[in-house]
Amino acid sequence: MACSLCEQLPRELPAELQLFLAPPMAEIEAGVRAAAAAAGVSVSEHHPGILRVTASRALMEEFCTAQLTQLTEVEQNGTRALVVPAGTEPSIRDLVHMEPLAALIAKVQAEEILELLRERRLTTYFQPIIDLQDSGKLYAYECLSRGLNRDGVTIPPGHMFSLARKTDLLFYLDRETRVTSIRNAAKHGVSERIFINFNPTAIYRPETCLRTTLEAINAVGIPREQVVFEIVESDEIADTDHLARILEYYREQGFRVALDDLGAGYNSLTSLNSLRPDYMKLDIDLIRDVDRDPYKARISANLLSLADQLGIATIVEGIERVGEYDWAREHGAHYAQGYLFARPAELPPRPEIPSSA
């Protein structure tokens, strides 16, 4: 059975729209009218206290995202809104059940992500992970997802995932980025391990939500032992038991798992016992200038020692200087990635290994 949260995209908005707005006070109504004028859309009074705005979908998106977002959060939540196809007259029941304008703005903003997903305008950038204990030999690639606008310009991943989270589309985006990474790794003939990010909050039941991910891996013929699923730690781990079940499912299927951004949040260390990852990554902010900062050096050294005692392989992120590279090697880190070796690129780059300082 398909998961409706990540397999079936919501319907797109009609090409021509009518927006009905009920501001709670005259001052806010004046702000809405000013926003409409700035956006170049016509506004009329449908009923006393209820405004009607008619525009194309593109113009309505501009109106909502560039103009109505200028209203305060309180004003957006206090103003009621309803959107219907052009030419449709809303019923009294429709008007009674108008939603907060803030919710409507989120839906309109979601169109950017929905169009990207419908048109599969996603790509993968690969960043090498090198083996510090084997003369910098290429060990793996992390698959980093990027969106593309219709002109082919890269959409920053932070913007893409933030908008997906805000508009309740994280399930769809997370699934599509995993599948895209798998297909692109196979297309480029990557034979090294591939680290694929996943967001645990985008997975309800792994046997259902991860089905298409497994199907994509089987379809391209990548051996399961080549794949490492990396937990995105930027989303706080609220339900460790749920995450542990996801990781156990991955292991049962023959994959390995990694814990990202160790040191960025307290949840990482307290969760090690139940999660027991195969790899853990030390956060980039912890590694930056680690050779110059005794405080960072002590914390990082203790984390590397702890991982070694637990039998967990370590990866240091964000290596940009030779001093950081030398420090990581000298303190027993197993693997490393960073701009010093190669920047992420669509064509998997070969790392350049620097001479020690």
Q: Which domains does the chain have, with CATH numbers?
A: 16-115 (3.30.70.790), 121-336 (3.20.20.450)
From first to last of its 357 residues, the chain has per-residue pLDDT tens of 445 445 555 566 666 788 888 899 998 888 888 888 888 888 888 888 889 888 887 788 788 877 888 888 898 889 998 888 888 888 888 888 888 888 888 777 777 788 888 889 999 999 999 999 888 899 999 999 999 888 888 888 888 888 888 777 888 888 899 999 999 999 999 999 999 998 876 666 666 657 888 899 999 999 999 999 998 754 455 667 777 888 888 888 899 999 887 655 545 566 777 788 899 999 899 999 999 999 999 999 999 999 999 999 999 999 999 999 999 999 999 999 999 999 999 999 999 988 764
229 close to 248: Cβ distance less than 8 angstroms: no
Give the integer Cα–Cα distance in Å for 225 and 217.
11
Amino acid at 242: H
Give the 3-state secondary structure of residue 181. Answer: helix
Amino acid at 275: L
175 close to 211: Cβ distance less than 8 angstroms: no
| CB count in 10 Å sphere of residue 218 | 11
Sign of the dihedral defined by the CA atoms of residues 143, 146, 147, 150, in that order: negative
Task: Please give the pLDDT value at position 266.
Answer: 44
Please spell the DSSP secondary structure of 237-268, one letter per residue.
---HHHHHHHHHHHHHTT-EEEEEEETSSHHH
> Which structure tokens are listed for 66?
């560039």
Backbone angle region of 321, left / alpha / beta, with phi > 0 → left and psi within -120 to 50 → alpha: beta
142 close to 195: Cβ distance less than 8 angstroms: yes
145 close to 200: Cβ distance less than 8 angstroms: no
Task: Please give the pLDDT value at position 2.
Answer: 47
Predicted TM-score (pTM) of this structure: 0.79
| CB count in 10 Å sphere of residue 102 | 18
In degrees and rounded to multiples of 5, residue 80 shows phi and psi of -90, 150
> Which structure tokens are listed for 20?
């009905």
Q: Which ranges constitute the DSSP H helices of the chain?
A: 26-39, 57-62, 73-78, 92-96, 101-118, 157-166, 170-187, 206-209, 211-220, 240-252, 266-275, 284-287, 294-310, 322-330
298 close to 263: Cβ distance less than 8 angstroms: no
Residues 6+ apart with CB under 8 A from 53: 18, 19, 20, 21, 36, 41, 42, 43, 60, 63
Question: What b/e sequence results for 188-216 when a residue is b if at least 16 CB atoms lie within 10 Å of its CB, and e otherwise?
Answer: eebebbbbbbbbbbbbeebeebbbbbbeb
336 close to 316: Cβ distance less than 8 angstroms: yes
Give the integer Cα–Cα distance in Å for 103 and 305.
48
Nearest to 122 by CA among 206, 183, 211: 183
